[in-house]
Chains A and B, each alone.
Chain A
């Protein structure tokens, strides 16, 4: 017996109707979760094993190896500030509105503790309560 080949050839298609939905869902997910760095100054961050996610919109205090301060209230890119007094004024502007506003200190690991101490003192004096020291994950040894 000879089987008759069907005349109706099936068109092979990959169903792609939902692909756009999936792709846009992923785009929206990454858009929402991506926090842009406010300060892209390269520096060697201290390494810690314990890490928590910082909050989006945190005010950022960046201190480079050669003790240049940069500050951002959370929205705009970090700008260089003149010195500790200018930084203190900028911190007070933020805490005057909300003392619970999160602060992130991004400091180079080689910076002297004297500098960090000054910044912490200004934060404490301004009444900031939520401070995170930015670090990078510790490499397992």
Chain B
């Protein structure tokens, strides 16, 4: 007995492939929006004694009090005027050191607010001394 051979066309079903592909695209699109991967960058100085112990007029000293109030070079200054204060100094000397000292009782966001302003005004030489470092050099620590 002879069985009749039928010719079935060989085909890979690809109709749903586009659906699967677009589902994956949308998944990765959404996943990339939800991950917070941006921030404000700085390099930690390695015991920058020269900048910390420099003459007062050689560096700008910014102090942040516990309530977030700013004292710049021993004078109170609103946050909004910080950029205007720094601009002429940085024009004269682009590598002017800026020391940012934050009171230990201040909220973290006060520090990032000032840091953000400093970044916007293009400070290149920013020093953020930690309290241990200040003690090491016998400098005053903000309370």
Contact = CB atoms under 8 A, between A and B. Distances in A.
B40 interface: yes
B50 interface: no
B21 A131 contact: no
A103 B22 CA distance: 34
Nearest to B44: A124
A37 B33 CA distance: 11
Nearest to A33: B32
B26 to A, nearest CB: 9
A135 B39 contact: yes
B73 interface: no
Contacts of A109: 107-109, 112
Contacts of B133: 121, 124
Interface residues of B, number: 46
A121 B64 CA distance: 18
Contact of B40 (A34, A50, A121): A50
Interface string A82-107: 00000000000000000000001011
Interface residues of A, number: 55
A79 interface: no
Given A19-B18, A36-B35, A121-B133, A30 B25 contact: yes
Contact of B119 (A50, A117, A130, A136): A50
A contacts with B: majority SS:
mixed
Interface in A91-141: 104, 106-118, 120-121, 123-125, 127-138
B37 to A, nearest CB: 5
A66 interface: no
Interface stretch (B53-61, B88-96, B98-106): B98-106
Given A34-B31, A124-B133, A23 B108 contact: no
Contacts of B130: 117-118, 120-121, 124
A118 B133 CA distance: 11
Q: For B40, B115, B120, which residue has the most chain A Cβ atoms within 10 angstroms?
A: B40
Contacts of A37: 34-37
B29 A108 contact: no
Contacts of A135: 38-40, 112, 116
A114 B54 CA distance: 25
Given A48-B40, A54-B38, 11 more contacts: A20-B21, A30-B29, A50-B119, A112-B105, A112-B106, A113-B104, A113-B107, A124-B46, A127-B46, A135-B39, A137-B38
Interface of A: 16, 19-20, 23-24, 26-27, 30-31, 33-37, 45-54, 104, 106-118, 120-121, 123-125, 127-138
